[in-house]
Amino acid sequence: MTEFSPLTWWRRFLALPNDNRVKTLGVAFLVALISALTVSLTSVLLQPRQQALIDAAREAKFAAMVAMECPQRSGPPIGI
């Protein structure tokens, strides 16, 4: 009886010679898959931090614009 265990398939895959097309394409596919998963996971996990930095930059820019529009006066108020 043939065993259909994934571990058996993995061992058979690793036993193939390195210049075999199936092994070469399989390894390339696995590397691409792992890389894509890593990039996607990093993007999802870092999105709240990125949004917080964008919000902080927006708030700092707004505060700088308000400070330029309304400079602090040291004298008495005008019109009194």
7-40 tens-digit pLDDT: 999 999 999 999 999 999 999 999 999 999 999 9
The CA–CA distances, whole Å, from 47 to 31, 52, 59, 60 equal: 24, 9, 18, 20
Number of residues assigned to the chain: 80
Has this prediction a pTM greater than 0.95? no
pLDDT the model gives residue 76:
66
Residue 63 has pLDDT above 60, yes or no: yes
CA distance linking residue 11 with residue 39, whole number of Å: 28
Average pLDDT for 54-64: 93
**Average pLDDT over all residues of the chain:** 88
DSSP at 71: P
